Amino acid sequence: MLSAVLNSARAVQMSILVVQAFVRIRELIASNKDLAERGGKLETHQRNVGSIIDMLVDEIEKMKALPESPKRKIGFDL
């Protein structure tokens, strides 16, 4: 605020720099919101794909397991 009250070349230059800094901060915040939204969408998609892959792995493990054959007894039945 002091740079706006003072009437010198340096005060004007500082006032311009302050305004530019705030504009840059606003741009960074806006771009980070976009990146955060895109990251959230990617995370949700990855979580969905991951759960499908987990289900497929479980089904493959079930298919790989061979059913146990009944064991025959050795010897005679009395």
- The contacts found for 65-68 with CB under 8 angstroms, 24 or more apart, are none
The per-residue pLDDT for range 13-22, each reduced to its tens digit, is 888 898 999 9
- Asked if pLDDT for residue 3 goes beyond 70, the answer is no
Q: What is d(CA 5, CA 3) in angstroms, rounded to the nearest whole number?
A: 5
Annotated domain spans of the chain: 2-63
The per-residue pLDDT for range 23-78, each reduced to its tens digit, is 998 888 788 887 778 888 988 999 888 889 899 999 988 888 877 777 777 777 76
Q: What is the reported pLDDT for 20?
A: 93
Q: What is d(CA 6, CA 65) in angstroms, rounded to the nearest whole number?
A: 83
Q: What is the reported pLDDT for 4?
A: 59
Q: Model-level pTM greater than 0.75?
A: no
Residue 72, both tokens? 């025959």
